[in-house]
């Protein structure tokens, strides 16, 4: 799988932040969440992982479009309602980027406003 190495690194990084991964590659028609994690306080975090080996076509962060964020929100809402039975739980969206190789590139976490 093309993004599996980047997702593995992202998962390891989120673990160092004290998060527990509760789902990976959660899919619905028209949307996907790469990683769903839970913080110590119970907050769910829906993470899109983006990696770019080079900057020829822009950075990893620049590859996230408004449409992708909309689809991500839709998938997060579906996860809350279908998997947990409610949509009022504390949660947030973020994008984790890796610029460079999956193993050694620069990693950054960007909250989605």
Provide the β-strand partners of residue 20. 38
Q: Quick check: pTM over 0.95?
A: no
CA-nearest of 17, 87, 93, 19 to 49 is 93
pLDDT in tens, 56-83: 888 999 999 999 999 999 999 999 999 9
Q: Does domain 4-111 have CATH number 3.40.1350.10?
A: yes
The predicted pLDDT at position 2 comes to 62
Q: Where are the beta strands (DSSP E) in 9-112?
A: 20-28, 31-38, 44-52, 91-99, 106-111
User: Cα separation of 12 and 5, whole Å?
Assistant: 11
For residue 11, give the 3-state DSSP assignment.
helix
pLDDT in tens, 2-39: 679 999 999 999 999 999 999 999 999 988 999 999 99
For the chain, the domains span 4-111
């Amino acid at each position: 799988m093309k993004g599996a190495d980047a997702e593995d690194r992202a998962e390891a990084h989120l673990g160092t932040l004290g998060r527990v991964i509760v789902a990976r590659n959660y899919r619905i028609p028209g949307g996907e969440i790469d990683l769903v994690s839970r913080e110590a306080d119970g907050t769910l975090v829906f993470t899109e992982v983006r990696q770019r080996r080079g900057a020829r076509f822009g950075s990893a962060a620049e590859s996230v479009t408004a449409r992708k964020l909309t689809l991500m929100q839709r998938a997060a809402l579906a996860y809350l309602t279908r998997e947990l039975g409610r949509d009022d739980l504390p949660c947030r969206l973020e994008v984790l980027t890796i610029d460079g190789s999956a193993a050694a590139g620069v990693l950054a976490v960007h909250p989605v406003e």
